[in-house]
Structure 1
Amino acid sequence: MGPGVSALSAEEKQAEKLRQEGNICFSKDRFQAAIDAYTAAITLCPKVPVYWTNRALCHRRRNDWTRVEEDSRKAIQLDHYSVKAHYMLGLALLQKQEYSEGVKELEKALDLGRGANPNGYMVEEIWEELAKAKYLEWEEESTQRSWELQSLKEACEGALKEKHFLYNSETEGFLDDPIVSVVSHLQQLELLGQVFQKAAEDDTPSEVPDYLCCKITLDIFRDPVITPSGVSYERAVLLDHLEKVGNFDPITREHLEPSQLVPNLAIKEAVHAYLDKHGWAYKTESN
């Protein structure tokens, strides 16, 4: 959590000591004491981004989201590739209900995190928060769409019933077979129901297609990679398998090294398109 320590000046050495003190206080849930230590470190060395992200993390634990945003933005100015800074800025923006900007920051943090450590705990944590935000966004939009569709359906049904009533009133005594009119009216109502059912399909949870899911986890892909044998897996899960089980493809059993994994950009794009259309698929156990 700290910068390099080669050829440190007296101020830098003192700032590092304060950072370590802050870390100890943080681990003991003494957040104000940690904030004081990180603030003193920042006063000595204001251009070290980790001091700002450490302090932002303390503010997060105290639900002080305004200060989380301020410190995260400062850290990003100093280090645009800071995973923690983008992550916490995203969380702070979501708290302000700035959903689109918050999601963008979480997505940036996720991309950076995957590049640094694809199977690290932080990547999973960021994904969970991103999925939660996207699901809530979909849920809100879906509720609005559902209400609008239902209102439109009721209006259309009312118009058909009124048309049927007027037609029967005008042709009363002239119809050879009034049953035909009733059947035609019922068929129109049924067709109308089918149209609105089709319109609601994208917002109706169902099974995610198999080709969009990892063969190991059976969950929708987040960061798919393809092996030389042509099988796609979730990157973090496959890397964990190669490290803990052995250097072979879990399905084909062919020898496999981490360097042979290639991002499956086609599947990744297909997953993004699917999630954009079916936001319910962001649902996770923690949602």
Structure 2
Amino acid sequence: MAMKADELKQKGNVCFQAGDFSGAEKFYTQAIIRDSTNAAFFTNRALARLKMEMFEDVINDCLKAIELSPSNMKAYSYLGQAQLALNHPSEALHSSMTAYELAITQRSPSVASIAAACLDAKKKRWEQREEKRRERECQLMLKMTDIIERDADRAVDELLKKGRMNNGNINISEQEEEIRHEAKERVRTLEDVFGKAEAVRCARREVPDYLIDNITFSIMLDPVITKNGHSYDRATLLDHLRRSQTDPLTREPLSEKDLIPNYALKAASDLFLKENGWAVDW
């Protein structure tokens, strides 16, 4: 007798828990063949494929799961992870932030891990932009160096023409040497300017104290204010409240409904992370 879709899913779960991701993927696929309307089958297969680094297939499964279940937190979370692995940090950030918002709404215990994924995407996006910036600056320096050298070549050509017109009565070799020397000095100055600018960017960096979560001492992704006026990262505070319904600092009673979004601090944190992606690992 043919197994039902749920039975195949359970077999897939057993394989997954045993670390047999390939076997799990096969059972989840068979479950999907029997019932292609169950979003959970697609997210289960997406997770198995994520473990197997089949990132394009993960994306396809997640998109199908979202089509079937628009508020599917797991689908958005796995989608973000696959997009980040494929070096699409902007798309990954959008997916991970959607997963984060759904996790908050659904009171999921995965809030902290999804928040960490959001920060990873922000960091990767910054690194990608930094790489493009360095590339542009390198190309600019090469272009400016080329201009300096071509200007020197033209000046030497003019000097040689003048020497021929004056029947060689001027000291060409000495003046040519002076032109070449001045060009080299300009190139050195150019390299020094670019080098100093990069050194300033790479100097010891600090995250402002007001952006630091007082529990994890990491930069905040989604700051909230307690009724006592203290700000914490939402994911960190929700994790604390699952263990103790008290304010981390005063130990007074505190619940999730007491938390107020700190929009000004969130805007400051978003701007800082946009320009300083390294802060994720600070």
Same fold (TM over 0.5): yes
Change (3 A) 1:112 1:242: closer
* Other structure's SS at 2:22 match: helix
Of 129, 138, 151 in structure 2, the residue corresponding to residue 141 of structure 1 is: 129
Q: Which structure has the bigger radius of gyration?
A: 2
CA contact (8 A) 1:202 1:277 kept: no
Of 256, 262, 270 in structure 2, the residue corresponding to residue 258 of structure 1 is: 256
Tell me how far apart the structure 1 counterparts of residues 91 and 49 of structure 2 sit (CA, whole Å).
20
Change (3 A) 1:201 1:113: farther
Unaligned runs of 5+ in 2: 152-188
Shift of 1:147: 5.5
Residues 1:14 and 2:4 aligned together: yes
Of 71, 74, 77 in structure 2, the residue corresponding to residue 81 of structure 1 is: 71
Tell me how far apart the structure 1 counterparts of residues 30 and 138 of structure 2 sit (CA, whole Å).
59
Change (3 A) 1:203 1:48: farther
Unaligned runs of 5+ in 1: 1-10, 163-188
Change (3 A) 1:105 1:204: farther
Shift of 1:148: 4.6
Change (3 A) 1:111 1:201: farther
Give the aligned partner of residue 94 of structure 2.
104
Shift of 1:26: 1.1
CA contact (8 A) 1:52 1:75 kept: yes
Shift of 1:136: 3.1
Aligned alpha-carbon RMSD (Å): 3.6
CA contact (8 A) 2:119 2:221 kept: no
Tell me how far apart the structure 2 counterparts of residues 20 and 263 of structure 1 sit (CA, whole Å).
40
Give the alignment of 1:1-287 within 5 angstroms.
14-117=4-107, 120=109, 122-146=110-134, 148-149=136-137, 197=197, 206-245=205-244, 247-283=245-281
Tell me how far apart the structure 2 counterparts of residues 151 and 37 of structure 1 sit (CA, whole Å).
52
* Other structure's SS at 1:67 match: helix
Tell me how far apart the structure 1 counterparts of residues 128 and 262 of structure 2 sit (CA, whole Å).
31
Tell me how far apart the structure 2 counterparts of residues 143 and 70 of structure 1 sit (CA, whole Å).
29
* Other structure's SS at 2:4 match: helix
Tell me how far apart the structure 2 counterparts of residues 241 and 95 of structure 1 sit (CA, whole Å).
30
- Structure 1: 4+ residue segments shifted above 6 A: none
Change (3 A) 1:200 1:116: farther
Supply the AA of the counterpart residue of 2:130: S
CA contact (8 A) 2:89 2:124 kept: no
- Calculate the TM-score normalised by the size of structure 1: 0.70
Give the aligned partner of residue 157 of structure 2.
none
Change (3 A) 1:270 1:33: same
Shift of 1:226: 0.7
1:16-56 superposed Cα distances (whole Å, 9 cap, x missing partner): 22221211111112233322322222222211100111011
Shift of 1:280: 1.7
Q: Which sits farther off after the overlay, 82-91 or 68-77?
A: 82-91
- Calculate the TM-score normalised by the size of structure 2: 0.71
Supply the AA of the counterpart residue of 1:237: T
Change (3 A) 1:147 1:254: same
Change (3 A) 1:152 1:61: closer
Change (3 A) 1:244 1:97: closer
Percent of aligned pairs sharing the same letter: 35
Tell me how far apart the structure 2 counterparts of residues 133 and 236 of structure 1 sit (CA, whole Å).
16
Change (3 A) 1:215 1:102: closer
Supply the AA of the counterpart residue of 2:217: L
CA contact (8 A) 1:107 1:130 kept: yes
Tell me how far apart the structure 2 counterparts of residues 103 and 210 of structure 1 sit (CA, whole Å).
25
Tell me how far apart the structure 2 counterparts of residues 253 and 48 of structure 1 sit (CA, whole Å).
44
How many residue pairs get matched? Answer: 242
